[in-house]
Structure 1
Amino acid sequence: MAGDVLSDGATSRTERAAQRIAQLVRGIDPGARLGTKSELRELCGVSVGTFNEALRVAQARGLVAVRPGPGGGLFAAEQSPMVRLGNSVLAIDADASSVADAVRIRDALDPLLIADAAWHSSPADIARYRDQVTAMSDAVDALDADAFMRANWRLHELFAEVNPSTVLRPIYLGLIDMIKQHTLAVLPADSQPIAEVMSDRYRIHADLVDAIADRDNERVNDLIRQHSVKHDR
């Protein structure tokens, strides 16, 4: 598994600033104030433009909330374990804000994509889904977050590949490809046991594939809601 911090040569200034914001968020309670934009920019040691890009990345990852007015500033956002594994732990090599946008848009499309997969998946498709669920289980046992995320991505690619929409399918697959191309590693997000976090995500995806196989639309819809609790990535 990748270490906690990537070398300076492996990440852009924007990504390093976003990682610094993530470190600050992990050190305080959800909802606590981090400071003003100027204060955080000075802590990150970057230009205004670079900090604004890093802040955009942190917001897209669900790490921070911005509140205007007196007493406003930057605050640590409430995060589920799914968010911490799915978004904030992706270390990317360049164009960080664009990749963060791709993650955000992909997340928004996930419920539609999964609902469509429940209608259009054949037994052969479901067998391929189960292969990726097995790969996710193996990654949990090995504590291999990189392999886990790759299997997760591939499962969602398979959901997209059965989609009949000539609009949704290429858009979704393009977003996944962009995220994959620029992801250097999956990093431990905080003290939350990574095996526990991955196990939670594995369970939701395994149950989801079972529900799709059973054509249990009510269960599929319930699991889509669980999958989408900001986020599942």
Structure 2
Amino acid sequence: MRREDGWHGGFAERGADPPALRRSDWGQADGRSRAEGAVDVVAALAARAVPGTRLGTKDELRARCGVSVGTFNEALRLLQARGVVTVQRGPGGGLFAAEQTPMARFAHSVLALDAAQADVAEALRIRDALEPLLWQDALWHASPADVKDLRGLLTAMESAAESADADAFVRANWRLHARVADITPSMLLRSLYVTLLDLVERHALGVGSEGAVPLAEHIRGRCELHAALIDALDRRDQEAVARLVAKHGTVGT
């Protein structure tokens, strides 16, 4: 594990965790989040069920997974993005096994890739190529509530930077990008991006400094860049968004 200016890249290996953890304790020994563990449990149920079968209520499935409400909500977002489940509200509602669309099958095939550095690097390269499309859609479709959520996630990134917690910074950064993906009306774009993001996150690529720039300074710069992007999004400043997204693609994370 690499250490640089008091920061550390990637996720630290940890011992076994109790069933439900605080958001700050999401990391597991294999580098995957508690939310991903819940995804695997529900996805296994859906895989054995006929499409349209009711798998249970959110509370029932959350209890089965042994995770907190916030963690299960994150898992549910991933399950829906991958086309694994659908959610119905009201009496008799809950989570239902979804029809396995071509997009869902594609997502599963991507997640089946091994942890070879070449696979992860390729996923990161393709994910970065999709960033301009996501921010362009966000420019035209983001609501005030979307912008407020993005600012909240930016605050989490800034807090991690201030406390010199590189793991928390990387997780907050991924959550911010996943939230941007939630804004696009294109299910295809959203599913493809989130699937690639999940692949990168599963294999825990760490944050690294750029050239001779100290890592702490690099991360502060990333916070400032994302803050400027969100401000430009809020102003509907198309030129600024395009310029900042181009800069975003040249410095990673």
TM-score bracket for the superposition, by shorter chain length:
0.5 to 0.7
**Which residue does 2:136 correspond to in 1?**
115
CA distance in structure 1 between the partners assigned to 2:135 and 2:154 by the alignment: 15
Contact 1:143/1:194 (<8 A) preserved = no
Post-superposition CA distance 1:53-83 (Å, at most 9, x none): xxxxxxxxxxxxxxxxxxxxxxxxxxxxxxx
Percent pairwise identity? 45
**Which residue does 1:140 correspond to in 2?**
161
2:188 is the alignment partner of 1:159: no
Corresponding pairs, count = 148
**Which residue does 1:192 correspond to in 2?**
213
Contact 2:170/2:206 (<8 A) preserved = no
CA distance in structure 2 between the partners assigned to 1:211 and 1:188 by the alignment: 25
The offset of 1:187, in angstroms, is 5.9
Within-5 A mapping of 1:59-98: 94-98=115-119
Post-superposition CA distance 1:27-64 (Å, at most 9, x none): xxxxxxxxxxxxxxxxxxxxxxxxxxxxxxxxxxxxxx
Q: Unmatched 5+ residue regions in structure 2?
A: 1-6, 14-28, 31-113
CA distance in structure 1 between the partners assigned to 2:201 and 2:156 by the alignment: 17
The offset of 1:110, in angstroms, is 0.8
Contact 2:208/2:215 (<8 A) preserved = no
**Pick aligned residue for 1:219 from 224, 235, 240:** 240
Counterparts in 2 of 1:102 and 1:132: CA distance versus 1, 3 Å: same
CA distance in structure 1 between the partners assigned to 2:222 and 2:180 by the alignment: 16
**Which residue does 1:171 correspond to in 2?**
192
**Which residue does 2:124 correspond to in 1?**
103
Contact 2:139/2:238 (<8 A) preserved = yes
Counterparts in 2 of 1:127 and 1:183: CA distance versus 1, 3 Å: same
The offset of 1:185, in angstroms, is 4.6
Q: Which has the higher contact order (CA 8 A, sep 6+)?
A: 1
Contact 2:139/2:233 (<8 A) preserved = yes
The offset of 1:180, in angstroms, is 0.8
Deviates more, 1:183-192 or 1:205-214: 183-192
**Pick aligned residue for 2:229 from 191, 196, 208:** 208
Aligned to 1:94, the other structure's residue is in SS state: coil
Post-superposition CA distance 1:6-25 (Å, at most 9, x none): 89xx99xxxxxxxxxxxxxx
**Which residue does 1:61 correspond to in 2?**
none
The offset of 1:3, in angstroms, is 7.2
Q: Which amino acid aligns with 2:115?
A: A
**Which residue does 1:232 correspond to in 2?**
252
Aligned to 2:243, the other structure's residue is in SS state: helix
The offset of 1:136, in angstroms, is 1.1
